[in-house]
Structure 1
Amino acid sequence: MPLSWTRQPLRFLQHLLRESDARDLEVGTLIAEMKRVHADACIAMGGGFSAWYPTKLACQTVNPHLNGDFLGDFLHAAKAEDFRVLVRMDISKGRAGVERERPDWFVRKPDGDFSAVWGMPQMCATGNFWQVEVFAILSEIMENYPSGDGFFFNYLHVPRCHCSRCQKIVFEATGKPVPALGTRDPAYEQWRQNYLADYMGRVRSFIRARNPAAALVPYHHVRDGWNIRRMAEIADIVGSQVSNPIMPNPVDPQPSWNLWAAEEAQLARALKPDAAPLLIQTTSAVFASRQTAMPPARLVNNLMQAAAHGGSTAPAVNGLLAQDDARFVPSLDLVSAHLSRHGGWYANLQSTARIAVLRCEASRMWGEDAGRSAGAPSGEGHVAEFRGVCEILTDLRYPFDLVVAPEVTLQDLARYDLVVLPAVSCLSDADAAVVDAYVEAGGTIIATADFAAADGWGRGRANHATRCLPALPGESRSAVGAYFALRGEALRNALGGIPHIAAAGPFWAPFAQGEVGDDLRIIGPFVNNAPEFTTVEGEGVEPGLVIRTFGKGRASWLPWRVGALYHRYSMPDFRDLFGALVTRTVGDPPIRTNAPAAVEVISRDHPEGLILHFLNRAASQTKGLAELAPLAGFEVSVETDAEIAISLVNNEKLPLTRASRTVTFRVERLDHFAAIVLPRSATKGETTEE
């Protein structure tokens, strides 16, 4: 198959060259740097607002510092070394000043002025540059440089434009004008999502007709205006940013949380399971000040998390490795050398999860997050709840996958014993029917917060969406100063036998006082929190845990933000409570360890055995991960028929003890990461290396 190379992860390096780097730049220098970090693929500067080859087209400007043909020379040298090369295109912006020469190409504000990003005018998606000139550029590159392996389209989206052409097209499609700035309209958002997907479908067909072996990789760091399912169908490789910089992009703030690489890798696998995602990781600590190095602890963690989930690691270096602030380079050396030595163990990885978490684009778009990739500033909404649930499961050592709504299918859910729906406030009728079918057939769900309060476009519901949980959440009230009573024996035991835990945040009462089997009945809130009056009285009224059987399955509802509260405050009671509900369905976690919660455990199945990663996320209290804090040893137990355990970091065999089907080994010290393989007995411990 011409694109079979996209199925397995590669070790990318992206030299994000500055135009001035072209002065006296030797292609051999880039090749040497790629070899140094054991890369086998790269993204090369190509066309768009800055052409890195002697184009004959007037629609793009040749890099003024360029001498000769960088793209041609680089491709010749890279292919001689058997590197995969994607050509970078940026069609989102133009060079400053071009808007005066070609005003019909560019985005207009409501007042008629040109819109700019980073001081560069934005390209209008309906204008002739996108509609005509982009195809001319692609044709020129493919004709002159047929050895390229595909195209990487950077910062790709349909920006809001108020030019007369866009106004006419949008009105004909939606019956409404382009919304004013700051206004979010479902019809317009659907239009621009579909417009981008249709356009990139044309681009893909154009590329395929000329080179069936060339891959298409659309990319935007926060996927502004994307229908992620349609874009994944069009893409040959799902491209995502996982950069997690110390200080995010001030223009379009990206997420900043410990599991971003895991989220994007799992999201890509959910959308396109047969292709390894391309996960872009900056080596810059500050997005707006790119010439500052990412701290080693953070960079290693992000790259190894991406690799452990089967993604192609893609460090993006602003310039060359040889630069003024090159503190990130030893980290690249460490990770790339490891992945190069043991590349076979990072191919064909499969999930071991029995749990799925629903990532709901409709809830992110039309709930409290209002479309923000980083979530609502309030710390509430689907994004915060989703992150918190993922963090709880990770901290409890439960592997999980992601499933994506809208358009979730019963097949997506049926493979899992438990599906978590974190603050899925906006749920379409079709997706609600799938949830019902899953539960009715014997599945278990845990829903949280304002579940299904609105339809898939954020319009409030008059009637409940699901039959398995036949109620609307209704209006919330504050639970600050209240308590949840622990009545059930299992929940009490999970919390050490205490009678109640603190409540906080918004609380909904969809079933009023609930049924006999419901739990976590709310006591309070108590207005007077002076220490002399802080007695907890009463058995509670409305339940904070609703449980209903439906068909052969069970639906549980926590009508409060257990995930968002954990994400923000790391409250252990909330983690243990949620863990008790998970254990009720899937049993104990498959990996048991006495390592602290700062150790992230990732388990993946491999044709030759099980591979476990232990990532050190220990950081200074209240601070993000920036410096390495080595951790003392810990024990790990897992069910397996493996007879040996091998550390890929130093190729040493670890002593094992066995009790029935459970083996236990010890990691003596954890620096950045440990990678342990438990080969199936038939392989007798032979490691797979490139």
Structure 2
Amino acid sequence: MNLTRRTFLKSASLGPACLGAANLSLVFGAQSERKEAPMKDWLKRRGRIYWYDQYALNEQDAAFAKYDPDRITEELVATGADIIVLYAANQFSIAYYPSTIWPQHPNLRGQDYVGDLLSRLRARGKKVVTYINWLESRHPEWNTIPLGAENDPDHKEMPLVSWADPADPDKRVQRVPGGRWRFPCINSPRRRQVLAVAREIVERYKPDGFHLDMFHANGALCVCPYCRPEVERICGTKEITRQAVAAHWREYIDWKCQRSASLIAELTAMLHERGILACHNAAFPLHLPSIYGVGEEWMPHLDVYVSEIFANLYMPSTTVRLQRALGLPSWELLTSTAPYYAHLSVPAAWWRMSAATCKANGGEVLGPCGVGAFPDTTSSKRLLDTVKQGFDFFMQDADLAEGAVSLAKVGMVFSWATRKYFKDGAMNWSEEIDGWARLLIGEHLPFDFIVAEKVASASDLSRYDLIILPNTANMSDAFCSAITEYVRGGGRVLGIGETSFFDEKGLKRTDFALKDLLGVSSKGSFEGNFAIERPGGPEPATGILQQVAASAKVVARHVAVDPAGSVSGTRDPLPIKPTEWPVVVANTVGKGQAVYIAFDVGRMYSLQNLPHIASFMADVVDSILPTRQIAVKAPRSIEVTVFEQQAAQRMIIHLADHTQSPTDMTRITEIIPVHDIEVTMRPPFPNPKVSCRGSEVSSSVDGDRL
């Protein structure tokens, strides 16, 4: 199958649905023509959400100066948004409606911003989510006090606004500057107040959904009066230090995650009693340390998974895949204002790349967030126009999303336990996943995430040709048994680093639980620079090497480097000679195979992006993978995913262009066209019909290859 230069240039004039504008979709099947069949369930169909950020400072003459609910409604409707998120308060919990609990912003002069807009948007057929923020500006005694910052004046009371009531603790409103986040402790009386305000809002306005923001964003090791007694009990001392907490990390993180989840559980239960969806911000667990409190315990209390896209396209690629694995609808928010600006729209290219990435990975809902509207309630025309363009592009080919199921043959394991208990909250596990995700995307290998805690038996893994365990340190015995049976039955596993060395409760085992499967036994570890045996000679590496004894075939060994170090003080000292320590071990178990890599190679690739490490990782994958699901000749910036729509009898290959800077969209102002892409695969159907959304395509069959 070829997209030639001629057909690409011809298609480029057809509009935005070409790879020059971020994505193409190849469709195979007996019914490859376009059909419109909107789904009734608004949570499960592709949709557009406008996260209408209406920020205003507590004391600001311009706030609400041009408030006109009819104009705002028309602006929002004109973007094409299906779901609108309305602020019920500002970023510091000053109400935008006549609240009996929080003081109302004085510039509204008693007007009901929430009621005005909600009623108008409902009349226009829009779904409405109401929003409040965990941040606070009246009770400094509730503030989080990070360890080591007990005397920081930033946690003390700020000057009051002119309209504050100094005699009323709930009306001692502070003049908090823009951008200054003041986090109440998650164990403070703020908990009860947020629940009361949420109840007031949903009972008064009956929105379709409710969102609590910024509760996920407090990653401090808090020693405020509400936390300190319990932290002292956990650590067994009144002298709290980071070392003391690290020594009792399991107990500490269990407590913090439980306290965080308990509020979300109570809030969601109240919402569900009233038939309202829980749409809280749960951030991006692949990239957020467990100390922030968001974890597996939150998942039963979310109806959708709300995350944000920042400047790195790998984040939505991996986040949406994980949301699919968790079984929750994916709502992705693109920060729609440029970095260091609050109201300046991002370039249209960022929207297209983000939308293409979400479409390619099965994301249901996309929209803007950030700040957006000016304090006076007007919005720049450029921002509104860019949002509409982004929405229009995202909704193109929405029929390809309905009932689509991933056909990826590679699975990468995500473990809540590893995220929670990994070495004092360190993010090595995250960097390992990120490195392997980048490698698979660059190699055009479609992959899914597998959530370890959701695997009940080997049958849950049987659809995959290869399962990657990316330094999945914490595994239950049950999961280890499922992986072992999967391999015995003919599956293939690639394990890395400390995989299976700890159990699901964070306790260290005496050896790898998968030692017989991987063919290795632990003898220790070291961290530093070394080299790897490669066909063309030793190549440099760095990281944490697990020193193992191999009971299976050693494919590559650790090469010692000059103990004098590098001549330039860098990471590649002179390789001296191979040692006894294996770097790659291959084992045959039953009908299947296992390969073990002894160091955190994915983390190295994530942090350093070195081509020789990418080649090493790809060689290991190809050594164990029986065949690639599809072969794609295209730049490494092209992300490839594969889905199936059984009802429509068609298979879909998405090609999303991450351009030349996928880790930093801020460097991109335009999307460079890509052409002459070739895709080779086994025909998914007899005599398949092949079409291409956004370009022309030619196809041919040669034996068993399409």
Q: Same fold (TM over 0.5)?
A: yes
Q: Distance in 2 between matches of 1:392 and 1:238?
A: 26
Q: Match of 1:468, as an amino acid?
A: L
User: SS of the residue aligned with 1:472?
Assistant: strand
Map 1:131-170 to 2 at 5 A.
131=192, 133-146=193-206, 148-157=207-216, 160-168=221-229
Q: Distance in 2 between matches of 1:479 and 1:524?
A: 9
Q: Name the structure 1 match of 2:554.
A: 518
Deviation at 1:509, TM superposition (A): 5.2
Is 1:605 matched up with 2:644?
Answer: yes
Of 534, 539, 542, which residue of structure 1 is paired with 2:581? 542
Q: Distance in 2 between matches of 1:366 and 1:544?
A: 25
Deviation at 1:403, TM superposition (A): 2.0
Is 1:484 matched up with 2:533?
Answer: yes
Q: Match of 2:677, as an amino acid?
A: E
Does the CA-based 8 Å contact 2:554-2:585 persist in structure 1? yes
Does the CA-based 8 Å contact 1:385-1:561 persist in structure 2? yes
Q: Match of 2:446, as an amino acid?
A: P
Structure 1 residues 26 and 307: alpha-carbon distance in aligned structure 2, compared to 1, 3 A threshold: farther
Map 1:268-287 to 2 at 5 A.
268-271=323-326, 273=327, 275-286=328-339
Q: Name the structure 2 match of 1:127.
A: 188
Q: Distance in 2 between matches of 1:516 and 1:371?
A: 33
Does the CA-based 8 Å contact 2:86-2:114 persist in structure 1? yes
Q: Distance in 1 between matches of 2:346 and 2:114?
A: 28
Q: Distance in 2 between matches of 1:316 and 1:50?
A: 18
Does the CA-based 8 Å contact 2:79-2:385 persist in structure 1? no
Of 438, 463, 467, which residue of structure 2 is paired with 1:391? 438
Structure 1 residues 399 and 178: alpha-carbon distance in aligned structure 2, compared to 1, 3 A threshold: farther
User: SS of the residue aligned with 2:525?
Assistant: coil
Q: Match of 2:557, as an amino acid?
A: R
Structure 1 residues 477 and 587: alpha-carbon distance in aligned structure 2, compared to 1, 3 A threshold: same
Structure 1 residues 178 and 631: alpha-carbon distance in aligned structure 2, compared to 1, 3 A threshold: farther
Is 1:555 matched up with 2:605?
Answer: no
Q: Distance in 2 between matches of 1:176 and 1:400?
A: 47
592-601 vs 46-55, greater mean Cα deviation: 46-55
User: SS of the residue aligned with 2:307?
Assistant: strand
Q: Match of 1:472, as an amino acid?
A: S
514-523 vs 555-564, greater mean Cα deviation: 514-523
Q: Distance in 2 between matches of 1:332 and 1:152?
A: 21
Q: Name the structure 1 match of 2:169.
A: none
Of 296, 303, 310, which residue of structure 1 is paired with 2:362? 310
Does the CA-based 8 Å contact 1:546-1:556 persist in structure 2? yes
Q: Match of 1:346, as an amino acid?
A: A
Deviation at 1:541, TM superposition (A): 4.3
Does the CA-based 8 Å contact 2:121-2:128 persist in structure 1? yes
Q: Match of 2:73, as an amino acid?
A: I
Structure 1 residues 459 and 3: alpha-carbon distance in aligned structure 2, compared to 1, 3 A threshold: farther
Deviation at 1:571, TM superposition (A): 3.3
Does the CA-based 8 Å contact 2:355-2:394 persist in structure 1? no
Of 435, 452, 457, which residue of structure 1 is paired with 2:483? 435
Q: Distance in 2 between matches of 1:206 and 1:21?
A: 32
Map 1:351-500 to 2 at 5 A.
351-367=406-422, 370-371=424-425, 375=427, 381-405=428-452, 408-410=455-457, 412-456=460-504, 460-466=508-514, 467-469=516-518, 470-472=520-522, 474-476=524-526, 478-480=528-530, 482-486=531-535, 499-500=536-537
Q: Match of 2:278, as an amino acid?
A: L
| Count of matched residue positions in the alignment of Structure 1 and Structure 2 | 611
42-51 vs 10-19, greater mean Cα deviation: 42-51
Map 1:62-211 to 2 at 5 A.
62-67=104-109, 68-90=111-133, 92-95=134-137, 98-99=138-139, 103=141, 105-108=142-145, 111=150, 115=155, 118-131=179-192, 133-146=193-206, 148-157=207-216, 160-168=221-229, 180=241, 183-184=245-246, 185-209=249-273, 211=274
User: SS of the residue aligned with 2:357?
Assistant: helix
Deviation at 1:515, TM superposition (A): 5.4
Which consecutive unaligned segments of at least 5 residues does structure 2 have?
A: 1-38, 57-61, 157-175
Q: Distance in 2 between matches of 1:89 and 1:338?
A: 30
Structure 1 residues 333 and 645: alpha-carbon distance in aligned structure 2, compared to 1, 3 A threshold: farther
Deviation at 1:629, TM superposition (A): 4.5
Structure 1 residues 622 and 202: alpha-carbon distance in aligned structure 2, compared to 1, 3 A threshold: closer
Does the CA-based 8 Å contact 1:511-1:542 persist in structure 2? yes
Is 1:54 matched up with 2:97?
Answer: yes
Deviation at 1:596, TM superposition (A): 1.1
Q: Match of 2:656, as an amino acid?
A: L
Of 345, 352, 355, which residue of structure 2 is paired with 1:300? 352
Deviation at 1:192, TM superposition (A): 1.7
Q: Distance in 1 between matches of 2:221 and 2:661?
A: 42
- The CA RMSD measured in Å over matched residues stands at 3.7
User: SS of the residue aligned with 2:121?
Assistant: helix
Q: Distance in 1 between matches of 2:395 and 2:577?
A: 62
Does the CA-based 8 Å contact 1:483-1:525 persist in structure 2? no
Q: Distance in 2 between matches of 1:84 and 1:172?
A: 47
Of 599, 605, 622, which residue of structure 2 is paired with 1:583? 622
Q: Match of 1:577, as an amino acid?
A: F
Q: Which has the higher contact order (CA 8 A, sep 6+)?
A: 2
Q: Distance in 2 between matches of 1:548 and 1:50?
A: 58
Give the % identical residues. Answer: 19
Q: Name the structure 2 match of 1:677.
A: none
Does the CA-based 8 Å contact 1:417-1:585 persist in structure 2? no
40-49 vs 569-578, greater mean Cα deviation: 569-578
Is 1:619 matched up with 2:663?
Answer: no
Query: Normalising to structure 1: TM-score of the pair?
Result: 0.78
